[in-house]
Structure 1
């Protein structure tokens, strides 16, 4: 990431309503600054229990919160255009400015910086300011990516998941699992966390040798491979990503599982079959609110009577779903559900909820490890081609750090919902997933 600039001595003036004191009692006045800069500092004036300093392009320092209240954070703004971008486009403008190298946190600690904004309601206040330029951008993006149309779903998936298998191999673990891991011990590696997640899901589903498993949004086939090797099942994986499907099938053949596992490039709405068990890990966020009922009805249709399924998905407690920046650059068309929306649609599809578990802290740890790998391998990634330039790397670093912050301090959760079809209870008793 871009090395932050050095700070210089702050300039001070007489105190008034738009000032903040620093550790020495000196006062930095921002009441007469340009409107964009004033607006950003007004947002930061919400910050209380933190030691937070902003250095503007002129070298002036403005301190917010309380000295010693936390580990110091320093936002260094390199480009004066940052302020107007925030004034016009809110968090979208702030994030785009980061992608362009217009600001940095002195130690690249975006997790704690964004966590600071969450804890002090900076984001929520900023999101209430809707400008015409921002509204136009948001509406234009959503109209182009709404996943009710199958062709839009296909484009949305390809935007994120067809970036190249070589790229994903630089920050994922050897199982190529791109979803929340499950940490049992502090020393667990990323690969161990992912294998433990697969084991947890297999136990919840009560997988047995000879059963047929369908995986909707199968990625690179990690879940199917694990279930086939450890539990003796056969299975079919569904994905819209051509890149994922190709490598997933290669990995299946390499492990001698070609007679039991198959990967198909298809939309879940176009797929038919009958299976003992159903799983979907980290795919439901791409379905879109208008298709929640369709997804659950399809889960019912794919399950045999007495079958069981597990839905693993990001969930939000916020009324704001994907922000404008995430929707534009990371997950176009994405929509994080709320928990009650899932349970209502499962019930409407005549699927009974058997168990629900929140893995929120586990995803924060997973995101942390992905970001560490991205930084360690940034030179290798950059050498893969022109696509992976500095702007791309900053975009992905911000994405991973901001999602970690949201799982640690914000409104994102990740749930595993275990459900079944029919009235008789088809799962082991008691529900004991320990090992």
Structure 2
């Protein structure tokens, strides 16, 4: 056995003792310093002491730095607070205040790495801690806002959808893929482009539905028609898509007509509760998040009504593992009236509607990659977006950049998931193809 000379051992012990004393002294100095700070700033720093991995430096408006986590263990992050009002805004309104402060330019991450910053807050459970903290001001603000947006009434659903999807087709064309797919793509390889990911998503769904030439397909929340167009061109179906966005419907129908599919595909501007008829197959991609908790059962029953006996459907939706249905900031600025389901709620309501679940996929990491592509395109084309309309100002840019980056972080490190549920109507198993949806 190799022994350590006594002199070296002593030196090592002394170094360890010195490091411990230095650490203790630094901690004591830190504790004394934050006790002298205003309450809002003190509150933020106490939250950040929850970081047990990661490397975060906060630089306050006076240029004073505070270190959190484990320096040198990961990508260093720098939270630069420009406006001292940021602290009180966070204290009063939590995540909503934090995000609004970013929109107003009150803070930045030095390298614009909002994905890692938001991910660190998720991994350290700081996001949940702030969300669950009771604040009267936040409660009253959010309660009033959500009452206005609740999608029980069709008029509210229409207003909520138009808030987001009627920003303009030109805007969305500058960061989405050519199919205008505005939902989670399917990544087969790390080098896949966003266009490849969206085509692969459509193909995956078509295989799950076991589409056959001549069948009819209804698409609830069809967006710009990407799924219907792909299914018609590749599988020979005819179908109907519905949306509450006039902008989406106009471009979707235009794209359908340009491809000579006008005799097989049609787009209607109606609510899902209003559509009639029966179809061989059913699909809904990224729309269920908008129906509202009170309407989960209504939606599933409508799916059952629209399917012919032994019909097959796919529901593609974001879901949550927490009790938070829609963050206060997202509800106010991005998706008013949104309500994320939990997986068991989806399966329960399908069962009540006499729809049997055949298969379930979780595409969580695929959505993180989709959002990464969108954010890259958004930044790369910002000059073109800004030239479209004066409404696309710096505050709009910061709002959308935060939305895309924080959403990516929520799928990488948070409690958001994306499920594809394959289901069928009736007691007889209608799937004659193997339950293997891998690509050749």
Q: 1:284-303 alignment to 2 at 5 Å?
A: 284-303=288-307
User: In the alignment, what sits opposite 2:14?
Assistant: none
Note the C-alpha offset of 1:152: 0.4
Offset from partner CA, 1:280-316 (integer Å, 9 cap, x none): 0000000100000000000000000010000000011
2:385–2:392 contact (8 Å) kept in structure 1: yes
User: In the alignment, what sits opposite 1:61?
Assistant: 65
CA distance in 2, matches of 1:419, 1:16: 57
Alignment of 1:119 with 2:130, yes or no, is no
User: In the alignment, what sits opposite 2:178?
Assistant: 174
Corresponding residue to 2:272 among 247, 268, 280:
268
CA distance in 1, matches of 2:268, 2:229: 15
Q: Which moved more, 1:113-122 or 1:126-135?
A: 126-135
User: In the alignment, what sits opposite 2:49?
Assistant: 45
Counterpart of 2:431 in 1: which secondary structure? coil
Corresponding residue to 2:430 among 417, 422, 426:
426
Counterpart of 1:142 in 2: which secondary structure? helix
Corresponding residue to 1:283 among 280, 287, 291:
287
2:169–2:247 contact (8 Å) kept in structure 1: yes
2:210–2:433 contact (8 Å) kept in structure 1: no
> After TM superposition, which residue ranges in structure 1, 4 or more long, deviate above 3 angstroms?
14-18
Structure with more helix by fraction: 2
Counterpart of 2:365 in 1: which secondary structure? helix
Note the C-alpha offset of 1:343: 0.1
CA distance in 2, matches of 1:39, 1:362: 36
2:57–2:66 contact (8 Å) kept in structure 1: yes
Alignment of 1:134 with 2:145, yes or no, is no
Note the C-alpha offset of 1:429: 3.4
1:315–1:338 contact (8 Å) kept in structure 2: yes
Aligned Cα RMSD in Å? 1.1
Alignment of 1:91 with 2:95, yes or no, is yes
Counterpart of 1:308 in 2: which secondary structure? strand
Note the C-alpha offset of 1:170: 0.7
User: In the alignment, what sits opposite 1:23?
Assistant: none
Note the C-alpha offset of 1:263: 0.1
User: In the alignment, what sits opposite 1:19?
Assistant: 30
Alignment of 1:79 with 2:90, yes or no, is no
Counterpart of 1:424 in 2: which secondary structure? coil
CA distance in 2, matches of 1:51, 1:16: 16
CA distance in 1, matches of 2:388, 2:434: 50
Unaligned runs of 5+ in 2: 1-24
Alignment of 1:214 with 2:225, yes or no, is no
Corresponding residue to 2:410 among 374, 391, 406:
406
Whose Rg is larger? 2
User: In the alignment, what sits opposite 2:8?
Assistant: none
User: In the alignment, what sits opposite 2:394?
Assistant: 390
Corresponding residue to 1:197 among 196, 201, 206:
201
1:18–1:31 contact (8 Å) kept in structure 2: no
Offset from partner CA, 1:329-384 (integer Å, 9 cap, x none): 01100011000000000000000001000000000000000000000011111111
User: In the alignment, what sits opposite 2:245?
Assistant: 241
CA distance in 2, matches of 1:41, 1:158: 39
CA distance in 2, matches of 1:431, 1:263: 31
Alignment of 1:183 with 2:194, yes or no, is no
1:15–1:29 contact (8 Å) kept in structure 2: no
1:240–1:265 contact (8 Å) kept in structure 2: yes
CA distance in 1, matches of 2:361, 2:86: 41
CA distance in 1, matches of 2:325, 2:56: 28
Offset from partner CA, 1:83-128 (integer Å, 9 cap, x none): 1100110000000000011111011000000000011111111112
| Aligned residue pair count | 415
Offset from partner CA, 1:173-230 (integer Å, 9 cap, x none): 0110000000001111000000000000000000000000000000000000000000
Note the C-alpha offset of 1:51: 1.1
Q: Which moved more, 1:29-38 or 1:390-399?
A: 29-38
Note the C-alpha offset of 1:50: 1.2
CA distance in 2, matches of 1:424, 1:207: 18
Counterpart of 2:356 in 1: which secondary structure? strand
- Normalising by structure 2, what TM-score? 0.93
Note the C-alpha offset of 1:30: 1.8
Counterpart of 1:387 in 2: which secondary structure? coil
CA distance in 2, matches of 1:129, 1:309: 40
CA distance in 2, matches of 1:263, 1:16: 63
1:217–1:237 contact (8 Å) kept in structure 2: yes
CA distance in 2, matches of 1:142, 1:290: 14
Note the C-alpha offset of 1:18: 7.4
Counterpart of 2:273 in 1: which secondary structure? helix
CA distance in 2, matches of 1:268, 1:128: 34
Note the C-alpha offset of 1:165: 0.3
User: In the alignment, what sits opposite 1:4?
Assistant: none
Corresponding residue to 2:361 among 348, 357, 363:
357
